Chain A
Amino acid sequence: MLIEVVNVVILALLAVTALAAVRLNDLFAVTMMFGIYSLLATIMFVVLDAIDVAFTEAAVGVGISTVLMLGTIGLVGRRARKASHRPILPLIVVIITGAALVYGTLDMPRFTDPAAPVHQHLGPYFLNESPDQIGIPNVVTSILASYRGYDTLGELAVIFTAGIGVLGLLGLRRRKRPGHEGGAR
């Protein structure tokens, strides 16, 4: 009961934050809205007992991505440009897509339904065997770090590549040596 109340409150705050991030005109404030969104999402992940995901969200969402977005604001300026077109058609497309997705979720089993198919096949195996096989008390951690370790390694490669690309875009260059004028701008 208590956890449900926390879920509802945090989800409502998440929705308000997302709407504010869309509506606000000052990109600096929008960046801080994204930071607040990550803070609230971390609480959601903690409630769901996914401690690693909460760790990642805390490190990437609040720390790194805020810094990267602020670096971008330093390059492009703080004010959002007025939209040159009316957002009616995109809004209709998004609403239809969202309605279709919500309609798709109606066939899914209820949240935390123990009879759901996802809890029948591999779930009990992981829940029963992972403390002996891996030795980590948290099941989410042992699945992320061991059962699908290669997947996580691939994610690391993707994130590393993206980080190199972002550094190149933001122009964190090495300082030029004196007497070496006219380098690439």
Chain B
Amino acid sequence: MILTIVLATLLVGMTAALIRAIKGPTVYDRILASNALGTKTILVIVVLGFLMGDPSLYIDIALMYVLIGFIGTVAVLKVSEFGDLGQSRSRTEEDHS
């Protein structure tokens, strides 16, 4: 019962985060919203694992998700700060040398 309530709350929260990711006027709104969605996805996977019987397998996926989502967030922030993933800066360093 409590797991069902948790799952429903998480789905509502995901909907709200998705709305912010679509509407979000600035890039940072979208970054924050997709980060929140990633966190809620991890929680949904773990809750589904407990609901469907074998939590250990699902916790593995959730851990994997935490690691991968971090890579994606770093790449997104890097592009929003520098405009690319670092190709042009290494190119200008080449030109200076």
Taking a contact as CB atoms closer than 8 A, the residue among A33, A46, A58, A138 that contacts B68 in the complex is A58
Binary interface profile of B, 33-53, with partner A (CB < 8 Å = 1, else 0)?
A: 010011001001100110110
Count of A-B contacts with CB under 8 A?
Answer: 121
Alpha-carbon distance between A62 and B69 when the two chains are bound, in angstroms = 7
Interface membership of A96, Cβ < 8 A: no
- Which of A71-79, A127-135, A147-155 interfaces with chain B? A71-79
Is there contact, CB below 8 Å, between B11 and A70? no
Residues 1-56 of A contacting B (Cβ, < 8 Å): 2, 6, 9-10, 13, 16-17, 20, 24, 28-29, 31-33, 35-36, 39-40, 42-43, 46-47, 49, 51, 54-55
Q: Which of B4, B61, B75 contacts A54 (CB 8 A)?
A: B61
- Set of chain B residues within 8 Å of A75, measured between Cβ atoms: 84, 87
Q: Which of B4, B11, B15, B80: most chain A Cβ within 10 A?
A: B11
CB of A20 within 8 A of CB of B34, answer: no
Interface range for A: 35 or more
Give the interface segment out of A86-94, A107-115, A118-126, A171-179.
A171-179
List residues of chain B with CB within 8 A of the CB of A70. Answer: 75-76, 78-79, 84-85
- The answer to whether B97 touches A74 (Cβ under 8 A) is no
The one of B24, B41, B69, B78 in contact with A43, judged by C-beta atoms closer than 8 angstroms, is B41
Residue numbers in B under 8 Å from A62 (CB-CB): 38, 65, 68-69, 72
Other than the given A6-B48, A70-B78, A176-B94, 11 more pairs (CB < 8 A) read A20-B21, A20-B22, A40-B14, A42-B61, A55-B61, A63-B69, A70-B75, A70-B84, A70-B85, A71-B87, A138-B57
User: Which 8 A-B residue pairings sit nearest by Cβ, starting from the closest?
Assistant: A74-B84, A63-B68, A20-B22, A66-B72, A39-B41, A67-B75, A70-B79, A71-B85
Interchain residue pairs with CB less than 8 A apart (11): A24-B22, A29-B27, A40-B41, A46-B45, A46-B61, A51-B61, A59-B64, A67-B71, A71-B87, A175-B94, A176-B97
